[in-house]
Amino acid sequence: MAKKNKMTEVEPEIVYSEPMLQPITETIEKNYMPYVMSVIISRAIPEIDGLKPSHRKLLYTMYTMGLLSGNRTKSANVVGQTMKLNPHGDASIYETLVRLTRDNATLLHPFIDSKGNFGKQYSSDMQYAASRYTECKLESFCEELFKGIDKNAVDMVDNYDGTLKEPSLLPTTFPNVLVTPNTGIAVGMASNICSFNLSEVCDGTIALLKNPKTKIEKIMELIKAPDFSGGGEIIYDSEQLRAIYETGSGSVKIRSVYKYDKSENCIDILQIPYSTSIEQIMKRIGDMIKEGKLKEVTDFRDEIDLNGFKLTLDLRRGVDPDKLMKRLFKSTPLEDSFKCNFNILVNSVPRQMGIVEILTEWIAFRIGCVKRELTFDLDKKKAKLHLLLGLGKILLDIDKAIRIIRQTEKEEDVIPNLEDGFSIDKIQAEYIADIKLRNLNREYILNRIREIEGLQNEIAELEDILGDEIKIKNYIIKQLTDIKKKYGKPRLSTIVYTDGEPEEVEDEPIENYNVRLVLTKEGYFKKITFQSLRGNDEQKVKDGDEVSQTFDTDNISELVFFTNQSQVYRAKTADFECTKASALGDFLPAKLDMDAGEKPIFMRVQNSYPENENFVFIFANGKGVRVPASSYATKGNRKKLIGAYSDASPIVGIFYETEPIDILLISSDKKAIVVKSSLIPIKTTRSAAGVNVFTLKKGNTLVKAIADLDENFDSKGYKKLKIPASGTPITNKEFLSF
């Protein structure tokens, strides 16, 4: 029997295929861009009607529910119905509803009449109640949002599942885009629109309707400034406001409104900036009290009640409330800025526009809505006239019409027989055939015929308006005038004119005490109280670092720091927190926001800049220069000064001269000189390169410059009476310590 061959098992070969590569541009185009466009167009940026899709879907749902004229309903009911148009979840829909209510106080003209707890715009902690507890309906003001919506004023589009129709925009009869504040963050862009007074906006729009070339100055006279639902005082800055009106970008400064209660010795803050909250203000005030920067206030508390907003500050006896408030405006959100970014969708394209451009676009939009409304009315009236003209033809022989109908054997022949009998078309014949038997009398038909003349006049009037854009504009002007009269309100935010001059604000008092300042070579800075130094004056530094300068001064001194990049930084001693000798301290390049690779090399307490005192600079190329201290005095509170000294050669030493000083200079080839600083010429230009002080051989440089020489230091053989001077070889062992 033959032996079977033993088969060896062969492992299957694994074939690795190269992964499919997709260019990043294609990935972005196919996957990311649709998401970006959806967020921009369908979620975050408002359109020319002043509403984002979430607002529009909610309000239109309430309109279809009959809540414009009916009784209030539970908010949960509205939320549930809105989900037929907006499938983003009940929580986000209810948040949108809350913001539009009267009780939340976000809008100058609320869209929703509310009952229950809807929170407050000025408080982040005051939560609104659940939707099952609150009730709502549309305010009568919403009539102006929906007027004409049933007359084909705007396009109706399918909802997300194609079961319902919803408006692409609302045909607002006033520029709601400037009356209702709106904020949205999309991808790569954002929108932040403040509210303006309705009456002023109507006036500005009417001016543009009458003259499209109205100058910006005229618009600024009519629309004076933003108007916020929380009130406050707007600090009028004509240049900043002009930039907002022209470009749609800029900021508006808002200040809280307060009153002093002398009997209780307290300040009641009654209005705060729209852009902040009471919690932010109270936190900042609390921090200032803990830091000892607000000793004038003994207590503060939230006293919000049914009467409205109130934040109370109890004062110590003798405190000037106005001076205190000036400090608080400077140091807390009691004065804040609203940053404007008027980014609006026009025909699905985001555009940043100024007020004039926004109103111009709204006028074009509104003209389109009015034309569609009037065309709808015109078509309706023409259709009715057509029917009545057909009815008029049977007036002369009603019996004939009855006879035709009675003698027609088949129902489908009634309409053709009437058409033939009276020379009318099918639509007119159907209208006549549907008249009730009781109305087939001469009186009824004569009454209908009398309507013809009125309809013809109305049709002619509508055609006249539609054919003349000036008359359409006059039609819009009349609507705006009526809206202003019916819904206009006085300004809530008062305007404070400062004539462009900044208000003088007293600096908050700084507690003064003696301190020791320490600077290390690596740029670490310490401010240490003498009390903290008792029994422990050993300074902790990083490995490889060492103390370069020490000063004893007080907490109200001015400091200057020269850096290795020819710049000077100014600071106050009080700008730094006290620390201990055992800590590393503040890292100055980060604290003073220095440039990359920049570090301090010289520090000085500089409370004044006398004419007869100088800074002395010694450079690696052997040159030196003296610059008067007065050359560093500047107007205003400049924190940084560039071109502090020459950058033609690396700096080796910086000294301050109140009287002539001896300076020891050491070169790289082990030579030294000692010169009086008075030998170095004075240059008034800070960046002057100086004169030769040390004559160096080719390839050598200065490596050290030392001014604080010991009294016992033997400078014999090194001291020079003239410059430039050649160096003397170092033989003195004392030099080894340098």
**Residues acting as catalytic residues:** 133
Give dist(CA 368, CA 464) in Å, integer. 16
Give dist(CA 667, CA 621) in Å, integer. 10
Give dist(CA 129, CA 98) in Å, integer. 10
Task: Tell me how far the alpha carbon of residue 153 is from its chain's centroid.
Answer: 33
Give dist(CA 353, CA 252) in Å, integer. 17
Greatest alpha-carbon span in the chain: 147
Phi and psi angles of residue 278, each rounded to the nearest 5 degrees, phi first: -65, -30
Residues 6+ apart with CB under 8 A from 273: 228, 230, 232, 254, 255, 256, 333, 334, 335, 336, 337, 338
Phi and psi angles of residue 586, each rounded to the nearest 5 degrees, phi first: -80, 140
Q: Are 652 and 618 in contact (CB under 8 A)?
A: yes
Q: Are 261 and 314 in contact (CB under 8 A)?
A: no
Token pair recorded at residue 526:
């310490």
Give dist(CA 266, CA 294) in Å, integer. 14
**Any alpha helices (H) in 394-509, and if so which ranges?**
398-407, 414-422, 426-433, 442-466, 469-487
Residue 692's CB is within 10 A of a number of other CB atoms, namely 13
**What residues form DSSP beta bridges with 113?**
137
Q: Are 674 and 663 in contact (CB under 8 A)?
A: yes
Q: Are 422 and 401 in contact (CB under 8 A)?
A: yes
Q: Are strands 190-193 and 182-185 parallel, antiparallel or unpaired?
A: antiparallel
User: H or E stretch including 473?
Assistant: helix 469-487
Of 371, 461, 465, whose CA–CA distance to 153 is shortest? 371
Phi and psi angles of residue 265, each rounded to the nearest 5 degrees, phi first: 50, 55
Instruction: Give the up-direction half-sphere exposure of residue 587: CA atoms within 13 A in the CB hemisphere.
Output: 9
Q: Provide the residue count of the chain.
A: 738
> Which SS3 state, helix, strand or coil, does residue 497 take?
strand
Of 158, 177, 165, whose CA–CA distance to 63 is shortest? 165
Q: Are 300 and 278 in contact (CB under 8 A)?
A: no
